[in-house]
Amino acid sequence: MPTIELSRKAVEKLMGKRLPDEKLRDRISMLGTDLESVDRERIRVEVFPNRPDMLSEAGFARALSAFIGVKPRLRAYAARQSRYRVLVEPSVQEVRPFTACAVVSGLRFDDERIREVIQLQEKLHTTFCRNRKKAAIGIYPLEHIKWPVRYLAKAPADIRFHPLEAHGEMSAQGILELHPAGKSYGHLLAGKESYPLFVDARDEVLSMPPIINSHRTGRVSQKTRDVFIETSGFDLASQSLLLNIIVTALADLGGKIHVVKVLYPKGYGQRNLSTPDLAVRRMRLSREYANRLLGIALTEKDMAKLLGKMGLGFERGNALIPCYRADVLHPIDLVEDLAIAYGYERFEPALPQVATVGEAAPFTLFQEKVAALLAGLGLLETRSYHLSSRETQLEKMRAAPELVEIERSQNAELSVLRASLLPALMEVLQRNKRHEYPQRLFEMGACFSLDSATETGAAERFLLAYSGAHHKATFTEARQVLDCLGRHLGIQVSVRAADSPSFIPGRSGEIIVNGQALGWIGEVHPAVLSAFSVEQPVSAFELDLQKLFEVKP
Amino acid sequence: MPSDDELLESLHPLERKVFPLLKEHDEVKALEAASGLQEVEVIRALQWLSNKKLIKTPVKQYRELAELDELGKRYLAEGLPEERFLAAAKNHSELGNIRSAARLSEEEAQFCLGHLRKRGLISLRKEGSALHVSLTGKPSPAEKEFLSSLAHGPRETASLSKEERSVLEELKRRKSLVRVRTAWEMRVSLTPLGKELLGRELHDAVETLTSEMLSSGSWKGKRFRRYDVEINVPATHPGKRHFVNQAIEYARRIWLDLGFREMTGPLLQPAFWNFDALFTAQDHPVRDLQDTFYIAKPARAKLPAEALVKRVQEVHENGGSTGSSGWRYAWDREEARRNVLRTHTTVLSARTLASLKELPAKYFALGVNFRNEAIDWSHNVEFNQTEGIVVDEDANFRHLLGYLRTFFRKMGYPEARFRPAYFPYTEMSVEIDVYHPVHKKWVELGGAGMFRPEVVVPLLGKDIPVLAWGPGFDRTIMEYFRIHDIRQLYGNDVKQLREMPLWMR
Q: Give me the residues of chain B with pLDDT under 70, please.
A: none
Give the mutation candidate from A22, A33, A296, A329 for the B interface (greatest B CB count, under 10 A).
Answer: A329
Burial B142-163, CB ≥16 within 10 A → b, else e:
ebbebbeebeeebbeeeebeee
Shared domain check, A95 and A37: no
Shared domain check, A97 and A40: no
Shared domain check, A319 and A262: no
> How far A538 CA sits from the closest chain B CA (Å)?
16
For A235, other C-beta atoms within 10 Å of its C-beta total 16
Closest of A80, A216, A204 to residue A149, by C-alpha: A204
CB contact under 8 A, B285 and A49: yes
CB contact under 8 A, A457 and B300: yes
Backbone angles phi, psi at A159, to 5 degrees: -105, 130
Cα separation, B463 vs A212, whole angstroms: 46
For A344, which of B328, B405, B419 is closest by C-beta distance?
B419
Q: At what angle do helices A57-67 and A300-309 cross, to 10 degrees?
A: 150
Query: H helices within B385-436, ranges in order?
Result: 397-410
A350 belongs to a structural domain: no
Give the pLDDT confidence score for residue A14 in this predicted structure: 86
- Of all residues in chain B, the one with the smallest CA distance to A440 is B239
CATH at residue A407: 3.30.930.10
A354 belongs to a structural domain: no
Pairing of strands A273-275, A256-263: antiparallel
Domain residues for the domain of A52 are: 3-67
Backbone angles phi, psi at A360, to 5 degrees: -75, 150
Taken in order A486, A487, A488, A490, is the CA torsion positive or negative? positive
Is any Cβ of chain B less than 8 angstroms from the Cβ of A252?
Answer: no
Residues facing residue A461 across a β-bridge: A447
Give the mutation candidate from A344, A461, A546 for the B interface (greatest B CB count, under 10 A).
Answer: A344
Question: Are the CB atoms for A57 and A116 separated by under 8 Å?
Answer: yes
Is any Cβ of chain A less than 8 angstroms from the Cβ of B241?
Answer: yes
Give the pLDDT confidence score for residue A353 in this predicted structure: 84
Question: 3-state DSSP call for residue B485?
Answer: coil
Residue B317's contacts (CB-CB under 8 Å, 6 or more residues apart) are B326, B327, B328, B329, B330, B331
CB contact under 8 A, B302 and A408: no
Chain A 268-297, residues with CB within 8 Å of chain B CB atoms: 292-296
Burial A521-553, CB ≥16 within 10 A → b, else e:
bbbbbeebbebbebebbbbbbbbbbbbbbebee
Shared domain check, A99 and A46: no
Cα separation, A473 vs A469, whole angstroms: 6
Sheet of strand B416-420, all strands in order from the earlier edge strand to the far edge = B261-262, B361-370, B382-391, B466-469, B441-451, B426-436, B416-420
Q: If you compute the radius of gyration of chain B from its CA atoms, what whole number of angstroms results?
A: 44
A72 belongs to a structural domain: no
- Cβ–Cβ pairs < 8 A, chains A and B: 268
A78 belongs to a structural domain: no
CB contact under 8 A, B264 and A364: yes
Cα separation, A483 vs B190, whole angstroms: 59
Q: If you compute the radius of gyration of chain A from its CA atoms, what whole number of angstroms results?
A: 33
Pairing of strands A439-450, A380-381: parallel
- Of all residues in chain A, the one with the smallest CA distance to B451 is A332
DSSP labels, B178-212: EEEEEEEEEE--B-HHHHHHHTS-----BSS--HH
Give the pLDDT confidence score for residue A553 in this predicted structure: 64
CATH at residue A161: 3.50.40.10
Write out chain A residues lying below 8 Å of B239, CB-based: 374-381, 440
Cα separation, B490 vs A411, whole angstroms: 15
Closest of B92, B18, B17, B81 to residue B55, by C-alpha: B18
Predicted ipTM of the assembly: 0.92
> What are the CA-CA distances from residue A329 to residues A124, A315, A332, B323, B450 (Å)?
19, 19, 8, 8, 15
Query: To 5 degrees, how large is the angle CA B25–CA B27–CA B32?
Result: 85
A80 belongs to a structural domain: no
A328 belongs to a structural domain: yes
Residue B368: which H helix or E strand, with range? strand B361-370
Chain A 314-343, residues with CB within 8 Å of chain B CB atoms: 329-333, 335-336, 339-340
- Of all residues in chain B, the one with the smallest CA distance to A291 is B396
Write out chain B residues lying below 8 Å of A293, CB-based: 396-397, 450, 465
The residue type of B68 is L
pLDDT, tens digit (0-9, with 9 covering 90-100), for B239-266: 999 999 999 999 999 999 999 999 999 9
Cα separation, B241 vs A380, whole angstroms: 6
Is any Cβ of chain B less than 8 angstroms from the Cβ of A81?
Answer: no
Backbone angles phi, psi at B271, to 5 degrees: -55, -30
> How far B229 CA sits from the closest chain A CA (Å)?
25
Question: Are the CB atoms for B360 and A356 separated by under 8 Å?
Answer: yes
CB contact under 8 A, B428 and A335: yes
CB contact under 8 A, A351 and B368: no
Q: CA torsion angle for A498, A500, A502, A507 (degrees, to 10)?
A: 20
Shared domain check, A419 and A300: no
Q: Which of A314, A345, A376 is the last residue of a domain?
A: A345
Q: Which of A67, A95, A122 is the last residue of a domain?
A: A67
Q: Give me the residues of chain A with pLDDT under 70, please.
A: 1, 553
Question: Are the CB atoms for B429 and A33 separated by under 8 Å?
Answer: no
Pairing of strands B130-135, A313-315: unpaired
> How far B490 CA sits from the closest chain A CA (Å)?
5
CB contact under 8 A, A407 and B289: yes
For B238, which of A356, A378, A410 is closest by C-beta distance?
A378
Shared domain check, A248 and A179: yes
CB contact under 8 A, B261 and A358: yes
For A382, which of B252, B326, B492 is closest by C-beta distance?
B492
A352 belongs to a structural domain: no
> How far A3 CA sits from the closest chain B CA (Å)?
14
Question: Are the CB atoms for A11 and A54 separated by under 8 Å?
Answer: no
CB contact under 8 A, B328 and A237: yes
For A332, other C-beta atoms within 10 Å of its C-beta total 24
Cα separation, B10 vs B7, whole angstroms: 5
Chain B 263-282, residues with CB within 8 Å of chain A CB atoms: 263-264, 266-270
Question: Are the CB atoms for A518 and A512 separated by under 8 Å?
Answer: yes
CB contact under 8 A, B323 and A385: no
Burial A146-168, CB ≥16 within 10 A → b, else e:
ebebbbbbbebeebebebeebee
Shared domain check, A183 and A124: yes
Shared domain check, A211 and A166: yes
Residue B229's contacts (CB-CB under 8 Å, 6 or more residues apart) are none
Give the mutation candidate from B398, B487, B489 for the A interface (greatest A CB count, under 10 A).
Answer: B398
- Of all residues in chain A, the one with the smallest CA distance to B489 is A383
Cα separation, A278 vs A77, whole angstroms: 6
Closest of B384, B364, B408, B388 to residue B450, by C-alpha: B388
Count how many domains chain A has.
4
Shared domain check, A430 and A393: yes
Is any Cβ of chain A less than 8 angstroms from the Cβ of B245?
Answer: yes
> How far B139 CA sits from the closest chain A CA (Å)?
59
Residue A510: which H helix or E strand, with range? strand A503-513
Phi-psi region of A471 (alpha: psi -120 to 50; beta: other; left: phi over 0): alpha
> How far B412 CA sits from the closest chain A CA (Å)?
18
Residue B428: which H helix or E strand, with range? strand B426-436
> How far B45 CA sits from the closest chain A CA (Å)?
26
Is any Cβ of chain B less than 8 angstroms from the Cβ of A423?
Answer: no
Give the pLDDT confidence score for residue B200 in this predicted structure: 87
pLDDT, tens digit (0-9, with 9 covering 90-100), for A31-46: 988 888 898 889 999 9
> How far B324 CA sits from the closest chain A CA (Å)?
4
Cis peptide before B428 (omega within 30 of 0): yes
- Of all residues in chain A, the one with the smallest CA distance to B295 is A406
CATH at residue A16: 3.30.56.10
Give the pLDDT confidence score for residue B437 in this predicted structure: 80
Shared domain check, A537 and A449: yes
Question: 3-state DSSP call for residue B331?
Answer: coil
Residues facing residue A503 across a β-bridge: A524
Q: Which of A217, A249, A275 is the last residue of a domain?
A: A275
Residues composing chain A? 553
Within 13 Å, how many C-alpha atoms sit on residue A246's CB side?
A: 32
For chain B, domains (ranges, CATH) are: 1-58+188-233 (1.10.10), 68-170 (1.10.10.10), 244-499 (3.30.930.10)
Residue B217's contacts (CB-CB under 8 Å, 6 or more residues apart) are none
Closest of A483, A404, A424, A418 to residue A446, by C-alpha: A418
CB contact under 8 A, B256 and A50: no
Write out chain B residues lying below 8 Å of A410, CB-based: 290, 372-374, 381
A306 belongs to a structural domain: yes
Shared domain check, A126 and A196: yes
Pairing of strands A85-88, A149-154: parallel
Shared domain check, A301 and A267: no
Give the pLDDT confidence score for residue B346 in this predicted structure: 97
Is any Cβ of chain B less than 8 angstroms from the Cβ of A359?
Answer: yes
Question: Are the CB atoms for B322 and A330 separated by under 8 Å?
Answer: yes
